[in-house]
Amino acid sequence: MIAIVDYGMGNLRSVEKALAYLGHAARVTSDPDVVVAAERVVLPGVGAFGAAMQRLSAARDGGPALQQAVLDVARSGRPFLGICLGMQLLFTESEEMGHHPGLGLIPGRVRRFDFTGRADGTSLKIPHMGWNSLSLRREVPLFRGLEDGVMVYFVHSYYCLPESPDVVAATADHGGPFCVALWRDNLFATQFHPEKSGAAGLRMLDNFARL
């Protein structure tokens, strides 16, 4: 079973429906015990980094916080996929509306796009929204069956800056190349939304479910 972590922020049902369409059992849950017991875990998310970390770290009905369950699974070797804000939360810290520590699974930080003073600044919108092509940096199980240049769907104002280039799985261009997917061991993450990226996104979700 694939657990989709519900911490109150994200397009949870879209991910669940996409996986169900592909024939994979998935469950939206806010129960840490269910998350820890799952074969695979998806951490989606839309919204502010600081608020997301507060919700993940809050105790539930006197029980353990979701944050520890997420960390336990991520460190267990089981397949783990972060989507959009779920990718950003994997990092050490974010500069979104102040300074906020993240889960610390991937060394690096999350920063806001800034095109101030650029001649092309007026044409580079924030948020970065819509379809953009991927530059696949290496062979990654998540991208099996896809070709370089595949189009995917984005909605975000902040982007990830990993300390090590070795974790970068794909980049896209918005005022310059930036990291939009990562892979390290059992950890996969995408800044774009596979569940909104048509056939290519479904292929990625199917690849993840079959790992």
- Please say whether the beta carbons of 183 and 163 come within 8 A: no
Among residues 16, 174, 179, 195, the one annotated as catalytic is 195
93 annotated active-site: no
* Nearest one of 194, 167, 84, 188 to 128, comparing CA atoms: 84
24 annotated active-site: no
Among residues 128, 156, 174, 193, the one annotated as catalytic is 193
Give the pLDDT of residue 63.
Answer: 60
Q: Which residue has the tokens 């269910």?
A: 34
- Helices and strands (DSSP H and E) totals, the chain: 6, 14
pLDDT bracket for residue 12 (50, 70, 90): confident
pLDDT in tens, 113-130: 999 878 776 678 999 999
Mean pLDDT of the chain, nearest integer: 94
Distance (Å, whole) CA 124 – CA 66: 36
Distance (Å, whole) CA 181 – CA 190: 4
Show the domains of the chain with their CATH numbers: 2-209 (3.40.50.880)
Give the pLDDT of residue 60.
Answer: 63
**Residue % of the chain over a pLDDT of 90:** 86
* Nearest one of 165, 53, 191, 54 to 111, comparing CA atoms: 191
Report whether pLDDT(96) > 70: yes
Q: Which residue has the tokens 């980094």?
A: 49
β-pairing, 187-190 vs 177-184, is antiparallel
193 annotated active-site: yes
Q: For the CA atoms of the chain, what is the radius of gyration?
A: 16
- Residue range 165-187: mean pLDDT, rounded: 97
Predicted structure pTM score: 0.95
Among residues 84, 96, 100, 179, the one annotated as catalytic is 84
